[in-house]
Amino acid sequence: MPCKQVINKSYFLSVLSLDFAPAEKVLENTGLTVAYLKKNQHIDISSAIQVVKNLYKYSHSPTWPSVFGKHLGISGHGPVGYAALSAPTLGHAIETLMTWEQVRSAYAWEILEQQEDFEVLLHDTTGDATYEAFNFEASMSLFEVLIPTILGGYCRSDVKINFKEQSKDKEQDLVAFYQSQLFFGQDKNSILIPKALWSSPSPLYDKESHELNVNRCKQLFEQLNQNVELDILVANIIAKHFDQSISAVIPLSAVPSQAQLCAELHLSGRTLMRKLKTANTSYKQILETERRKYATTLLKDARFTVLKIADILGYSEVANFCRAFKTWYGVSPSTFRQSLRDR
């Protein structure tokens, strides 16, 4: 679900209320004031990133993201939190939270079914490593509030959290803070929840309340995106698919078709084509642009073969990918990769 990159102002006000650092330090180099935060509903992502960097610089607590996530709890996320709490099972609650929290925050997510667990991965959408580390830590703290709230208890050995970040100075504080098993220096940020817990029924389930709050989330999503250009929304859907394909254990289905985009955006095929034409583009052009961007990024990563990259980008034959790449950049993917090594 693509979403405009803005952050709900309530998060900023919550950070200030926790007194991690003086307000002027927290808002340094953002151009924001407390009065502005109280007046406006959303803050742009660049300001949010700067606030996070300021907090890492000035906060007296190395685990401030975890404290922040726990402080917000579930009710601090508005209708998103209430929709999660009233879901029928723990797994449904997590899916609800991950789906609609994007209305208020900035990340993409996916759920992978393993042999014994469900693995929830959070993918940063800002491109900033500092913000990614903050967002994941705060989200995991939120999970540690959600799970016992629904299940009424928490067993340390049940849930495992993988941190990409590895900081010896901070690890001991995090282990003391969290109830889950923690693993640092991993290749991805994720949380693993046993299937038995995932399917556990929630005693807080309320069908009417759940549907009411999900509908409210949909309204907020539509309001947030009403001023976002359609070509950006289409590009975001395609990019999210590529992000999920990169980390998927089992290959995903084909790149979202024009018909699938219409269904997700609640538009007819004719309307989609007309609006994209007004923006001087088309589905085919947007798909090609995203493929071009991801192709060069993936070729810089030695983990991915040219065959794998072609598969991720939705080409049925590797020859088709090589032909397209040479049209874009004048050289084959292998030659491009070799030139990177030579440099």
pLDDT for 319 beyond 60: yes
Residues 6 or more apart whose CB falls under 8 angstroms from that of 69 comprise 137, 138, 139, 140, 141, 142, 145
pLDDT for 126 beyond 70: yes
| Res 155: pLDDT | 61
The DSSP bridge pattern shows strands 6-8 and 42-44 to be: antiparallel
pLDDT for 77 beyond 80: no
Q: What is the pLDDT of residues 234-290, one digit of tens each?
A: 888 888 888 888 876 555 668 889 998 888 887 888 888 988 888 888 999 999 988
Please give the share of the chain, as a percent, with pLDDT higher than 70. 91
| Res 248: pLDDT | 67
Per-domain residue ranges of the chain: 6-207, 229-342
| Res 104: pLDDT | 58
Phi, psi of 43 (to 5 degrees): -120, 140
Please give the share of the chain, as a percent, with pLDDT higher than 90. 39
Residues 6 or more apart whose CB falls under 8 angstroms from that of 286 comprise 231, 234, 235, 238, 276
| Res 2: pLDDT | 45
Token reading at 33: 């004031």
pLDDT for 307 beyond 70: yes
| Res 235: pLDDT | 85
The amino acid present at 201, given as its one-letter code, is P
| Res 129: pLDDT | 87
Judge contact between 108 and 126, C-beta under 8 A. Answer: no
pLDDT for 25 beyond 90: yes
86 pLDDT tier (thresholds 50, 70, 90): very high
Asked if 6-207 and 229-342 have one fold, the answer is no
Q: What mean pLDDT is predicted for residues 26-36?
A: 88
DSSP codes joined into one string, 180-203: SEEE-S-SS-EEEEEHHHHTPBPT
106 pLDDT tier (thresholds 50, 70, 90): low
| Res 89: pLDDT | 95
Contacts 24+ apart (CB under 8 A), 37-41: 37/9, 37/12, 37/13, 38/9, 38/13, 40/9, 41/8, 41/9
| Res 91: pLDDT | 93
Buried b (16+ CB within 10 A) or exposed e, 162-187: bbebeeeebeeebeeebebebebeee
| Res 5: pLDDT | 62
Q: What mean pLDDT is predicted for residues 46-57?
A: 92
Token reading at 245: 């394909």
Instruction: Please indicate whether residue 162 or residue 128 has the higher confidence score (pLDDT).
Output: 162
Residue 111's DSSP bridge partners are 120
229-342 CATH, one of 3.40.50.1580, 3.40.50.150, 1.10.10.60, 3.30.465.10: 1.10.10.60
Judge contact between 100 and 214, C-beta under 8 A. Answer: yes
Residue 112's DSSP bridge partners are 119
CA distance 72 to 75: 7
pLDDT for 1 beyond 70: no
| Res 334: pLDDT | 92
6-207 CATH, one of 3.10.180.10, 3.90.1520.10, 3.40.1010.20, 3.30.420.240: 3.90.1520.10
pLDDT for 138 beyond 80: yes
Judge contact between 81 and 74, C-beta under 8 A. Answer: yes
Q: What mean pLDDT is predicted for residues 143-169?
A: 82
Q: What DSSP character marks residue 253? A: -
For residue 36, the tally of other CB atoms under 10 A from its CB is 15
Average pLDDT, the chain: 85
For residue 71, the tally of other CB atoms under 10 A from its CB is 17
